[in-house]
Structure 1
Amino acid sequence: MKPPLTQLGHRMSRLTGVRAIMKDIIETLSDAEVEWINLSAGNPVILPEVEQMWRQYGRELLEEPQFGEVVCRYGSSQGYEPLIEAIADTFNTLYGWNLTRRHVLITPGSQSLYFFAANCFGGVSPAGHSQSILLPLSPDYTGYNGACLDPSVLQALQPNIDRLGPHRFKYCPDFDRLQVDDTIGAILFSRPCNPSGNVIATADVERLALVAAQHNIPVLVDSAYAPPFPNLAFTDMDLVWGDNIIHCLSLSKAGLPGERIGIAIAQPELLHPLECFLANAAIHSSRFGQAIAAKAIASGELAQLSKTVIQPHYRHKFERLEAAFDRDMPDDIPWALHAGEGAIFAWLWLEDLPVSDVELYEAIKQEGVILVPGQSFFPGLQEDWVHKRQCLRISLTATVEEIERGVTAIAKVVERTYNKPAFAMAAK
């Protein structure tokens, strides 16, 4: 039977962004005759110390008298009270934010949080005009593409590109392109950024928040990789707090993706519509996951392991990847890595690439290496910007040895691609 889907049903039944190409990646990796180097994965590495912590708190919960009350009953849509208290206490201690329990909302993962927010703040207003969700800097997280029920709501801006050296660069917001008025329902960006690892400067975050506040617009900061957990920032970064800022955290990269724990920290009046949306859509997040997270956060162990285990693991891999690119890539090819400021990916820009990123992805596959073409990471960017087809995302979840072998293979294909006769003639 083929059900009679609505327009919305058709849209939501299609894969968007990088999830669309994951079908090809999964089928490719299923070929057991090839020993693939998988540099595409977004799944965090299972680190023994982190896994042991979650096991320990899981065992404790199983033996406690309140186990039945935690997992055998419904709870508050706002979240599990001990977890809310642990988060408020942690942020008050670390950052002096003076949070109360009403400043915290727990969601079934941060992806659902962006879905709730995108459709609470983006769409048709009560007055009948359209409100967009603005990404002030592109590229950004591909998952935003599927968050808006109306795809036209999502809008993105091209960034400025700061060249940091012959083979390094950094994206920065282009404030000359930024126009904030009542057609914008919310501003959204990730910090550190998936896919590029970019950390928008504190002064730029404050400037965005100030401009938005003048129009009563909320600013959602996707902090899935930020301090204090999982603390995947490789550069100093301050968390910015304000009356119109919604900090959106996740415990996925802190080793708990299966339990779907998202966290929103904001003024209560900003969280209220999101909590109501959550109550209507999903009731509440996993209570088991919330209960063990409460223990890990209240004890301080999660923040400590984030600092001493999770962050060094990925930072070391980025440093080895960076060294491998410097060693293997020819100097006369216009390649550049984005500054390694955080997250679990590296972002490669190949300026004047003679083929598309998807064609290069296919050629690199022939060398036994899987990564992700970059064009899926520009959700909401309407302009036909050639840069969108010149980038690749490389995961840091493989082993160091696999990453270095993968870089060698990538360099080989890139050099061959740029040295094709047609490109060589055009370059002259």
Structure 2
Amino acid sequence: MKDIVETLQAGAGKQFINLSAGNPLILPEVEQLWRDCTTELLASSEYGEVVCRYGSSQGYAYLIETIASDFNRRYGLDLNNNNILITPGSQSLYFCAANAFGGLTTNGGIKQIVLPLSPDYTGYGGICLFQDALVAYKPTLDVEEEAHTFKYRPDFSQLSITERTGCIIFSRPSNPTGNILTDNEVGKITALASPYNIPVLIDSAYAPPFPALNYTDMKPVFGDNVIHCMSLSKVGLPGERIGIAIGSSRLIQVLESFQTNLCIHSSRYGQAIAANAISSGALANISEQFIRPFYQKKFTMLEDSLNSAMPKNLPWFLHRGEGAIFAWLWFKDLPITDYQLYQQLKKVGLIVVPGSTFFPGLREEWQHKQQCLRISLTGSNEEIAKGMKLLAAVVQTVYQLSS
């Protein structure tokens, strides 16, 4: 990402199509929601208490109560306030969990942080103070040759969960691939962890009920050893750093204690306006009516552009678009590395993200790691269509030169 920023800054007037961003677009309806919630907070007698005073490390009480009520009604749960923790973004939540449940133990051993399906979110690569503790597993691939599509699946014949495992983390829907693990796959992972009381953190930053960036049917999974992890970044509050953890009180208490020492608590202003948006039902409605359709149409646009521009005789494969705000492309037998392809695309004015950065913890050699690209859906329709034409032309040249 540093190279991308430097490229854009040093462009000297050159126009780039930037399809690298993970920053959500500012949708008018979403911005207006947060303006309305801010106006409501400013007019409230709670304003001073929210902004001018410290609060509980667990989070703003009204937000916690609102989440418990909403999820109990929506999913038939029996949550109380002790089952919920508000964190300063979900990244800090994974840092707390990785080092509270995994990493160095009191007897000098190492508890592993397991990523059961690689590739996955690149940010997991920096959450553990002891890098040797992070272990990822290679997936199996379901490939549809004629359709030029594929899907990653966990390889349960290889996945190892033992007493040496501290916690398990995966994103659902996935950043970077848009993959959604099935209920059955999630159930198998939690069942493997259960005998050892291992926490399973499900990164639901793109999941329903908000931002609801799932394009196929899915429901959040809960359980005694599951920590359901959410973020409000993709519903228009990335600057406020609001993460949410939902789980058993024994696991939430551990994370709260860690957080108290780390940062006291998350932004109270962000928590307060989020509470208003959730309690009114507006946040879930905005997610379903505006955020999801907007990005789903972007994926369809990208898919159609690729099918139109990419030569049918080349071994390119688009991961099934099941959710999130990215597309993931695999170029089988790519004659150059993903980073070299990224550099060539920059020369024609297209910026994407090399895929090899999304395999944290996967130590074994695997050519596939250098054959993928992540493409953001945050560009305009025109940028996406033109970008896929540029991509197709460069990739075709790369394969032709190798033969």
Q: Does 1:26 align with 2:9?
A: no
Structure 2-normalised TM-score? 0.98
Q: How does 1:107-256 map to 2 (within 5 A)?
A: 107-166=87-146, 167-256=148-237
- In the TM superposition, 1:318-329 aligns within 5 A as 318-329=299-310
* Contiguous gaps of at least 5 residues in structure 1: 1-21
* CA 1:352–1:240: 2 relative to 1, 3 Å: same
Q: CA deviation at 1:391?
A: 0.1
Which residue number corresponds to residue 3 of structure 1?
A: none
Aligned equivalent of 1:401, options 350, 364, 382: 382
Look up the match of 2:22.
42
The answer to whether the Cα contact below 8 Å between 2:104 and 2:130 also exists between their aligned partners in 1 is: no
Which of 328, 346, 357 aligns to 1:376? It is 357
Which deviates more, 77-86 or 22-31? 22-31
Q: Report the CA distance between 1:127 and its aligned residue.
A: 3.7
What does residue 277 of structure 1 align with? 258
Inter-partner Cα distance in structure 2 for 1:360 and 1:75? 49
> For 1:62-101, what aligned pairs fall within 5 Å after superposition?
62-101=42-81
2:274 to 289, 293, 304: 293
Equivalent-residue separation in structure 1 for 2:157 and 2:399 (angstroms): 34
Matched, 1:336 2:285: no
Instruction: Tell me the secondary structure at the aligned position of residue 175 of structure 1.
Output: coil
Does 2:247 align with 1:266? yes
Larger CA deviation: 221-230 vs 32-41? 32-41
1:352-363 equivalent positions in 2, closer than 5 A: 352-363=333-344
Give the whole-Å Cα distance in 2 for the aligned partners of 1:248 and 1:185: 17
SS at structure 1 position matched to 2:86: strand
| Deviation at residue 165 of structure 1 after TM alignment | 4.1
Which of 386, 389, 413 is the aligned partner of 2:394?
413
Partner of 1:102: 82
| Deviation string, structure 1 residues 46-86 (Cα, Å, up to 9, x no partner) | 00000000001111111212211111000000000110011
**Equivalent residue of 1:263, what SS?**
strand
Q: CA separation in 1, counterparts of 2:305 and 2:344?
A: 20
Amino acid across the alignment from 1:116: C
Q: Which moved more, 1:307-316 or 1:93-102?
A: 93-102
- Which whole-Å CA distance do the structure 2 matches of 1:129 and 1:372 have between them? 36
Q: Is structure 2 residue 72 aligned with structure 1 residue 61?
A: no
C-alpha distance in 2 between matches for 1:354 and 1:171: 22
Question: What is aligned with 1:305?
Answer: 286
2:345 equivalent in structure 1? 364
Gaps of 5+ in 2: none
- What is the identity, as a one-letter code, of the residue corresponding to 1:73? R
SS of 2:111's equivalent? strand
Q: Equivalents in 2 of 1:234, 1:112: separation in Å?
A: 27
Superposition deviation, residue 37 in structure 1: 0.4
Q: Distance in 2 between matches of 1:400 and 1:230?
A: 21
1:406 maps to a residue whose letter is: G
Alpha-carbon distance between aligned partners in 2 of 1:89 and 1:319, rounded to the nearest angstrom: 35
Instruction: Report the 3-state secondary structure (helix = DSSP H, G, I; strand = E; otherwise coil) of the residue aligned with 2:157.
Output: coil
Give the C-alpha shift of residue 214 in structure 1: 1.2
| Shift, 1:125, TM fit | 2.2
What is the DSSP-based 3-state SS (H/G/I as helix, E as strand, rest coil) of the residue aligned with 2:227?
Answer: strand
Q: Deviations over 1:159-196 (max 9, x none)?
A: 01011342000000000001211111011100000000
Rounded Cα–Cα distance in structure 2 between residues aligned with 1:95 and 1:281 = 32
- Partner SS state of residue 235, structure 2: coil
Q: Give me the whole-angstrom Cα distance separating, in 2, the residues matched to 1:217 and 1:32.
A: 52
Question: 2-side partners of 1:99 and 1:366: how far apart?
Answer: 53
- Local SS of the residue matching 1:418: helix
| Greater Cα offset, 79-88 or 161-170 | 161-170
**How far does residue 128 in structure 1 lie from its aligned partner after superposition?**
3.3
Structure 1 position 32, deviation (Å): 4.0
CA deviation vs aligned residue, 1:361-392 (integer Å, no higher than 9, x gap): 00001110101000000000000110000000
Partner Cα distance (2:111, 2:318) in 1: 35
SS in 2 for 1:312: helix
Distance 2:144 2:261 in 1: 48
* 1:317 matched residue in structure 2: 298
Q: 1:360, 1:130 → 2: CA distance?
A: 37
Q: CA deviation at 1:23?
A: 1.4
Identity %: 57
Please tell me the residue identity of whatever aligns with 1:386.
Answer: Q
User: In 2, distance between residues paired with 1:92 and 1:304?
Assistant: 17
178-187 vs 257-266, which moves further: 178-187
Residue 154 of structure 1 and its aligned partner are, at CA, apart by: 0.6
1:97-122 CA distance string (max 9 Å, x none):
11111111000000000000010011
